[in-house]
Amino acid sequence: MRARIVRRLAASARGLKRLPVVLLLASLVLLAGTPLVWNWRDAARHDQAAPAPNGPVNPQAGGRALESTIKAAQQRLKDLPRDWSTWARLGSAYVQQGRITADPAYYPKAEGALQKSLELKDTANWQAMVGMAALTNARHDFRTALDWGRRAEQVNPSAGSVHGVLVDALTQLGEYEKARDSLQRMLDVEPGVSSFTRASYDFEQRGQVVKARDALHRALADAASPADVAFCRYYLGELAFNNGDPAEALRQYEQGIAHDPDYQLLYAGQARAQAALGQTAEALAGYDRVTQVLPLPELLVEYGDALQAAGQPDKAVQQYDLLTAARQLFTSNGVVDHLATATFLADHGQPAEALQQAQAEWKSRRSVLAADALAWALHRNRRDTEALKYAQIATGLGWRNATFHYHRGMILDAIGRRDQARRDLSTALAINPFFDALQAPIARTLLDTLGGPV
């Protein structure tokens, strides 16, 4: 059975248009000078059929365009095997193909192509350096990605893609001010969809929801293709959902699907919004469809939890079993994700293992997400006094994140600080009463015992 699961995970996600970069930075801050905007994918729109590409593949490219890029590069390299720029382009295309298909088997191929490019041209090869940064970001090796990005920056500080990979790495490492500096440079050299969407995430993390939405609308105004429009609509939907408006989120997802029906994450968002709106049958059908095509670990968890909430525990376990296989597939191809593993284990009855994973994540990076995961794992292990320290770090950036406040509220309740717990639980449910299919009902029940919303 496990072999069948692994084969399904490796082969089921063909023909997708695009999966956005593993890191989402959304912020739009007005600094002295240029407003912060970020272009989610590289702003440079390369001609996919160009015979001699001079930069990394456009991360916004759709699946069919990427396949064309890969085939053209492979054909060119048969005739010109020492063409370092085509090796770099091929490697970058493999990275993106791995993202959009949820098939990490592309990552070793990407590494081989990018290393070949660097063997042929080392010191000035910023294209391959950016490709290596994107690859190591995708594998969650953010410190190495930062090193590659810095090397590329020394060679070509005018390329938006260089600053994009730096923003992504620095954000995931928890170096938020340095990430914002790199974001500003990206905005200065290549304002567009990629930089504006990164700006939106930056704003969202700091609790500046209106600015985050404005940044996404700027990105939408700059969108030049159906794929770009769908991408922007997806994150407008995510922003709406995360701030407690599933009806608006559903509208955004559906508009995105109308522009690009191949963008699979829109269907996951649609199912999430439908579940929040009480459209359970439609939501479960949507989750089933999208996880068949895009078996990302986070979507398998979300589907399993939706099944659990709908009173179908046996089917939920099937999704959790697939999650185990998916993690094995990603790990075997160099992707390490202690964060998602820690959160899942903490919420599904494996506290000791969750703590091990969360501690490993915190050791490698000091982001608010890592702090929250560690706080929650410590709470599940009844180490609440210690957990509170990390919960305070998680909420310290100002992010209007319902999960962060829920976790801190539960920790505060466990150590007897019930008035503060009541405030945090009230905040969590005010931000987004649908933040988690299994945990939101627990938050509501505890809040009721504490006297109801503040």
If asked whether residues 360 and 254 sit together in one domain, one would say no
Report how far residue 33's alpha carbon sits from residue 104's, in angstroms, rounded to the nearest whole number. Answer: 40
Of 215, 231, 263, which closes a domain?
Answer: 263
Find the distance separating the first CA and the last CA of the chain, reported in whole Å. 50
CATH code of 344's domain: 1.25.40.10
Per-residue pLDDT reduced to its tens digit, 323-353: 999 999 999 999 989 999 999 999 999 999 9
Provide the 3-class DSSP secondary structure of residue 417: coil
Question: What residue ranges in 280-433 does DSSP mark as E strands?
Answer: none
If asked whether residues 214 and 341 sit together in one domain, one would say no
If asked whether residues 254 and 366 sit together in one domain, one would say no
Of 247, 263, 279, which closes a domain?
Answer: 263
The answer to the question of residue 328 being in a domain is: no
The answer to the question of residue 160 being in a domain is: yes
Helix (H) or strand (E) holding 161: helix 160-172
The answer to the question of residue 81 being in a domain is: yes
If asked whether residues 27 and 159 sit together in one domain, one would say yes
Tokens of 187: 């905005």
The answer to the question of residue 212 being in a domain is: yes
The answer to the question of residue 168 being in a domain is: yes
Report how far residue 110's alpha carbon sits from residue 23's, in angstroms, rounded to the nearest whole number. Answer: 18
pLDDT(408) > 50 = yes
If asked whether residues 255 and 344 sit together in one domain, one would say no
If asked whether residues 366 and 259 sit together in one domain, one would say no
Per-residue pLDDT reduced to its tens digit, 229-241: 999 999 999 999 9
Give the global pTM: 0.85
Structural domain harbouring 386? 337-449
Q: How many domains does the chain have?
A: 2
The answer to the question of residue 275 being in a domain is: no
If asked whether residues 44 and 164 sit together in one domain, one would say yes
If asked whether residues 244 and 355 sit together in one domain, one would say no
Residue 255, pLDDT score: 98
Residue 54, pLDDT score: 36
The answer to the question of residue 70 being in a domain is: yes
Average pLDDT over every residue of 117-129: 96
- On the 0-12 / 13-18 / 19+ scale of CB atoms within 10 A, 188 is middle
If asked whether residues 345 and 258 sit together in one domain, one would say no
Per-residue pLDDT reduced to its tens digit, 359-403: 999 999 999 999 999 999 999 999 999 999 999 999 999 999 999
If asked whether residues 341 and 253 sit together in one domain, one would say no
The answer to the question of residue 320 being in a domain is: no
Of 209, 229, 263, which closes a domain?
Answer: 263
Helix (H) or strand (E) holding 38: strand 38-39
